[in-house]
Amino acid sequence: MSAVADPPARVPPDRRPPARRAAVRRLRTPAVLTVLAVLLVVSAVVSIGFGAEPLAPRIVLDVLEHRLFGGAADPTYDAIVWDIRVPRTILAVVVGAGLAIAGAGIQTLVRNPLADPYLLGVSSGASVGATAVITLGLFAGAGLWALSLGALAGALGAALLVFGIALAQGGLTPLRLVLTGTVLSSAFSAFASFLVFRSADPQAAQSVLFWLLGSLSGAAWDQLLLPLLAVLIVGGVLFAGCGWLDALAAGPDTAASLGVPVRLVRNVLFVLLAALVGALVAVAGGIGFVGLVLPHIARLLVGARHRAVLPVAALAGALFLVWVDVAARVMVRPTEVPLSVVTGLIGAPVFLLLLGRRTYRFGGASS
């Protein structure tokens, strides 16, 4: 009897050569970007109908049509859709995209997959500024801008302090940034808690807590310019320096051997990310998990190259936060739930699933 050769074993998709996996992901990137962009536009329009007063899609489209192409709509629906919900949806898109970009950048800066946009102490510094506004009446002359102005001042002050301490101790190395940011974050949080404890306002603690957990309820047309400019400028600079970011993610020695000015890139990256996070926290408070989880999802979809990760993470972050905001508005209607409550409920199990994937890679190494 002649021996029959066994059929060749099929190579699992995750065992393909690295070069072939990279080629497949490069081809996949335009399709992923297209799908995410379409989903984001549709979701942004649909989400406008959700809230304390549900609106039919026909009403939303009617108001948008009359606003964009001329005409008159029902004044009541026009006020709800155009003056309240459209700015809120745009802010969700901007903040979600910005946090995802900042998360990807900071994870590269400190070469740590657990890093998020608030690692540098910016959020805790912003909490001190916002708490001072709520409890002490700081910047009271700024009116509706007082809270955002106080938070932005606190965020930038914290970033400067972290930057100065890290430089004084020898430079912005990943370990030094993580340790300095973590320690100062604890100090800022303690000081904010002290301000709340000393406040004579019984509602101060609740107001501070709601702001710390993130909210888009204060969205208005005149508040969109600062975060939008921050996201566009910082995102554009990071995208232009994708090659340097890829080299930096591989390690400082590898980056230096490729001609990357490691110290300069780290300093510029820190300043850009601190300014971006400060601008976002100033208008939306602290929103957790977006900057931690979405960059990893982007890497799973299109690989670790920043040229693909940054736009995919931005679109995914925007899409994610649009629906998080919808959930926050409808979970206990008519009351709103802080955004970090929703992102934590979703982000924690998603991140645990990411940890269970044997093929996931961060910075070129299997996790």
Condensed to tens digits (0 to 9), the pLDDT of residues 65-118 reads 888 887 777 888 989 999 999 999 999 999 999 999 999 999 999 888 888 888
Which residues, 6 or more positions from 125, have their beta carbon under 8 angstroms from its beta carbon?
Answer: 154, 155, 156, 157, 158, 159, 161, 184, 188
User: If DSSP codes are grouped into helix, strand and coil, which group holds residue 330?
Assistant: helix
Please, which pLDDT band fits residue 175 given cuts at 50, 70 and 90? confident
User: If DSSP codes are grouped into helix, strand and coil, which group holds residue 361?
Assistant: strand
How high is the pLDDT of residue 367? 40
Q: Give the span between the Cα atoms of 81 and 70, in whole angstroms.
A: 15
Q: Which CATH number describes the domain made up of 39-48+56-357?
A: 1.10.3470.10
What is the domain partition of the chain in residue ranges? Answer: 39-48+56-357
Please, which pLDDT band fits residue 190 given cuts at 50, 70 and 90? very high
How high is the pLDDT of residue 15? 54
Specify the higher pLDDT residue, 166 or 14: 166
175 touches 109 (CB < 8 A): no
Q: Give the span between the Cα atoms of 150 and 127, in whole angstroms.
A: 9
Burial (CB < 10 A; 0-12, 13-18, 19+), residue 177, is: buried
